[in-house]
Structure 1
Amino acid sequence: MSLIIISPVIWIVLSSFKGPIDLYSWPPKFFTNNPTFENFFMAFQKGNFGLYFWNSLVVTVSATVLTLIINTMAGYALSKYRFKGDALILFLFLSTLAIPLEVIMTPIFTVISKLGLYNNLLGLIIPPAATPMGVFLIRQYLLTVPDDLLEAARIDGASEWRIFWNIIIPIAKPVIAVLAIFSFMWRWDDYIWPLIVISDPSKYTIQLAIANFIGEFRVDWGSLLAMSVITMVPVLIVFIIFQKQFVKGIATSGLKD
């Protein structure tokens, strides 16, 4: 099953190194005898791919960092602090998961326009910073942390900020890694929201660039495949770095002693 699922990806990767003759040959060739990097060079030269790659990297990294900060704080507050209306806040926050983006797209765009963030990379970074899924993951994981540990730190004179940074953050590394991978993938692969917010071609993200790379009468499949392969690399690198924490975080999120 894994081979069946991954076979299209392997086909794209191998095809990105094919020349025009092998790429359009019939019957199709899975491998090529003359691999070339010409498609990658053309993608950067003709498609201005370097600029779009940089725009996506700035948006994705900035949005991921902001998401981790906001969601970790919110998840910690909803898991370890008891205040009037905390259950209602959590319910209302999680209920937004049932609302499709298409329903709230117009009011969000109106807010973005009023704030002067239209056609601005900040319009891609700020709106998705607080995600209900992220808050839920962090909260469920931190429910496994004993309250006695935090009380002992308070008795020793630790401030709330010190407890958060010195105790909670190190303990929550696995679930933070999970959220980092998810957030990176969401922002990197996002197409609909950048399509709405960005109109200046010089501010296009990589997904918009790939979509606009398709011409009206002709498609340069070689360069398009090369661009698609390059878009896989950052997500793959992030997953390789955090894979151990990812598996551990998925396995323990939602458990409670």
Structure 2
Amino acid sequence: MSNMAPPPQAQLGETEKSKALRPWFKKKRWWLVGAIVFFFMVGALGNDETDASTAASDTSAVEETASAEDTAIAQASEEAAEAEASEEAAEAEASAAAEEEAKAAEEKKAAEEAAAAKAAEEKKAAEEAAAAKVAEEAAAKAAALEVVPVQAAQLLADFDGNEAAADAKYSGKILEVTGLVDEVDTEMFSKDKYVVRMGDGTAYSFLTVNCRDLPATDAATVPAGSTITVRGVFDDGGDLGVELKECAIL
């Protein structure tokens, strides 16, 4: 009888007792709990990695945006600097062109003034040369002419007696005439030139030797009634007296 198997209830109790005495890590419920915890941890790690990846992605996007903005700012600054440099170069070129134009205008003005001054000098030199030539010709002509000294009374008497003989005697000659001054008057056709009239000394003579072309300064020194000597070129003689031109008082 002692070798008989225990009843099923006893076996069941003993199995439960054996299960209860097993260590905790050998029990199935703990494995289930561990599996759940494991899955939660894996999910959490996955979320962290996703969050980290998203954050890294966001950071990279922000950095790319910042880099693009920096590039755009740098490009804009470079373009502004180039535009400013181009504007400064254009202003400098315009200023240089204006200076060149002003310099050219000044040079042109100076050249025109120099040309005008040269023309004026040449004109003056030509006038002086012409005057000198006229003076030389007059001097040569005067030198070639014979100088004849004569009294005013004799000169008038020669023409009163024989006009043809007097013309032949005095024509083409320079006369130095001495006589008594009747009057000093202005020329008929020139108020700037004066004529000195010398008579024969008689009270009732109407004939005079007329010394023309005297300047006012010379005529002003001759008082009426004085005796003077004049030199002039014989011009004409006749019933109205004798005419001398280009006269000078000696």
Give the TM interval when normalised to the shorter protein.
under 0.3
Alignment TM-score, normalising by the size of structure 1: 0.19
Higher relative contact order (CA 8 A, sep 6+): 1
Alignment TM-score, normalising by the size of structure 2: 0.19
Q: Greater CA radius of gyration, 1 or 2?
A: 2
